[in-house]
């Protein structure tokens, strides 16, 4: 399918690896020029070079911490953008008694306030031109809270509430905002959580992987490639009537009717 977004310009955050990289690769395949961001310059440059060579699109790599004002200013300087994909690593797991106020502030900065700041920066330009796409990578935890991910549950649910209202305020200007809610995917984040299961249960990594995969009706972890394809579709010309939605990509793991 031709997504009809060739020549558009996208900012994709945390895109040197994992789900962000999957989104960047899928958009590049559709002919979208990219501004990619991540904290690690070496990994980011390597990923950008690979995408540039494979797709032929223009790719700008901007290393920096997107959760800081300076980091956001550095990437936004390469705008304007037709497409924004927000993404940031999730906060560490733990129990309710483990976290201080500072821990919650840090989680809110990364997984709620940073995406909001980026949207506030790019939405006026998108609305003025009558077209724009925003996709926020959040988490399955906003639909079904994960007990050990209380920081993520809190921050990402706050972002979801912001999007619910904002998406409906900008849709009339040709701008859509939607959220993708990943379940377990084969990324570094999944490895870290598997290691937590391994240590807590005193089992091997293979056993931890098999145990978690068994909770997914699809019987496997998702891939960054299929996640990226879903993101690219939401960014396409065909998705203009999808507004303010929270779309699960979890292999059926969340047992819910809606």
Q: What is the Cα–Cα distance from 58 to 25, expressed in whole angstroms?
A: 12
The secondary structure element, H or E, covering residue 63 is strand 59-63
Q: Is the pLDDT of residue 156 over 90?
A: yes
pLDDT of amino acid 12: 98
For 149-156, what is the mean pLDDT? 94
CA atoms within 13 A on the CB side of 167: 21
> Which of 8-17, 72-81, 196-205, 217-226 has the least mean pLDDT?
196-205
pLDDT of amino acid 75: 98
Contact 185, 167 (CB under 8 A): no
For 249-253, what is the mean pLDDT? 97
Percentage of residues in the chain with pLDDT exceeding 70?
100
Q: Which residues contact 174 (CB under 8 A, 6 or more apart)?
A: 126, 127, 130, 131, 132, 240
pLDDT of amino acid 188: 82
Q: Is the pLDDT of residue 9 over 90?
A: yes
Q: Between the CA atoms of 9, 12, 17 and 18, what dihedral angle is there, to the nearest 10 degrees?
A: -120
pLDDT digit string (tens) for 23-71? 999 999 999 999 999 999 999 999 999 999 999 999 999 999 999 999 9
pLDDT of amino acid 196: 81
Contact 235, 6 (CB under 8 A): no
pLDDT band of 92, cuts 50, 70, 90: confident
Q: Is the pLDDT of residue 82 over 90?
A: yes
Q: Is the pLDDT of residue 198 over 90?
A: no
> Mean of the per-residue pLDDT values for the chain?
95
The token pair that represents 63 in the structure block = 């290393």
Q: Which residue, 13, 22, 25, 14, is CA-closest to 224? A: 22
pLDDT digit string (tens) for 222-235? 999 999 999 999 99
136: β partners? 86, 179
For 123-152, what is the mean pLDDT? 95
pLDDT digit string (tens) for 165-193? 999 999 999 999 999 999 999 988 788 77
Percentage of residues in the chain with pLDDT exceeding 90?
84
Please, what is the Cα angle at 195 between 94 and 140, to 5 degrees?
60
The alpha carbon of 90 is separated from its chain's Cα centroid by a whole number of angstroms, namely 10
- Going 233 to 236 to 242 to 243, the CA torsion angle's sign is positive
């Amino acid at each position: 399918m031709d997504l009809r977004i060739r020549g558009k310009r996208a900012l994709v955050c945390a895109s040197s690896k994992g789900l962000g990289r999957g989104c960047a690769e899928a958009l590049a395949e559709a002919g979208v020029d990219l501004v990619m961001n991540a904290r690690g310059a070496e990994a980011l440059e390597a990923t950008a070079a690979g995408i540039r060579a494979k797709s032929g699109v223009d790719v700008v790599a901007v290393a920096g911490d997107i959760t800081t004002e300076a980091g956001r200013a550095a990437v936004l300087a390469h705008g304007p953008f037709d497409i924004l994909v927000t993404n940031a690593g999730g906060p560490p797991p733990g129990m309710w008694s483990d976290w201080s106020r500072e821990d919650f502030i840090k989680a809110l900065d990364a997984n709620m306030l940073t995406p909001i700041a980026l949207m506030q920066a790019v939405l006026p330009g998108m609305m003025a031109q009558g077209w724009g796409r925003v996709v926020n990578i959040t988490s399955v935890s906003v639909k079904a809270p994960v007990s050990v991910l209380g920081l993520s549950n809190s921050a990402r649910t706050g972002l979801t509430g912001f999007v619910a209202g904002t998406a409906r305020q900008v849709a009339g200007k040709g701008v859509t905002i939607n959220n993708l809610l990943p379940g377990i995917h084969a990324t570094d984040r999944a490895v870290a959580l598997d290691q937590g299961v391994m240590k807590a249960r005193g089992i091997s990594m293979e056993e931890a992987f098999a145990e978690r995969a068994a909770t997914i009706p699809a019987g496997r972890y998702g891939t960054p490639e299929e996640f990226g394809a879903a993101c690219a579709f939401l960014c396409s010309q065909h998705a203009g009537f999808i507004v303010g939605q929270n779309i699960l990509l979890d292999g059926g793991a969340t047992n819910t009717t809606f």
